[in-house]
Amino acid sequence: MSARPEIPAGLPGGPDPASKVVDLAAARARLDAARAAGQQVAFTNGCFDLLHTGHARLLQTARAAADLLVVAINSDASVARLKGAGRPRVPAADRAYMLALYPFVDLVTSFDEDDPMALLEALRPDVLVKGGDYVPDTVVGRDLVESYGGRVIIAPMVPGRSSSSLGE
């Protein structure tokens, strides 16, 4: 069996997806520049361990709500704490790269905590977007985002398309 080939760094037609995967300092700098240019920032988060159509629709909804989209993923340790033994099935670096491939995802970052509250406090998005399995009262960070004039959007569910339906 041969070694796994490396994914090409940059493909024609857009930025290198790996350049979209950033740490908190780089995300803050990018968002500061975007805001200085009058742009609004949307934020969504999750494990994104098993990507499916529901995730794609969530990301499209989030991007449509603002000029720039930040996707925050739970670290491998965080996913294991939240989802249990055997998770994540896909390592964080691979999950981040897969999300960065979407042309409408501008930045991907990760967090080690069980929820994104510290990231939300640091990045202060204009729009916080979660999937239809949430209601506004259950969205972590809702109070914070609304406290400075931001808004929360619940993206519609795609029937039959969830991580649970994939055997989670």
* pLDDT score for 139: 97
* pLDDT score for 11: 52
* pLDDT score for 17: 93
Instruction: Give 101's contacts (C-beta < 8 A, 6+ positions apart).
Output: 17
DSSP 8-state assignment for residue 19:
G
Q: What is the pTM of this model?
A: 0.87
* pLDDT score for 95: 97
pLDDT along the chain (168 residues), means of 10: 46 77 98 98 95 93 98 97 93 97 96 97 98 93 98 84 46
Pick the CATH number of 17-166 from 3.40.50.620, 3.40.50.300, 3.30.460.10, 3.55.50.30: 3.40.50.620
Task: List strand residue ranges (DSSP E) for the chain, in order.
Answer: 41-46, 68-74, 107-111, 127-130, 151-154
- Reference 45, options 101, 118, 94; nearest CA is 118
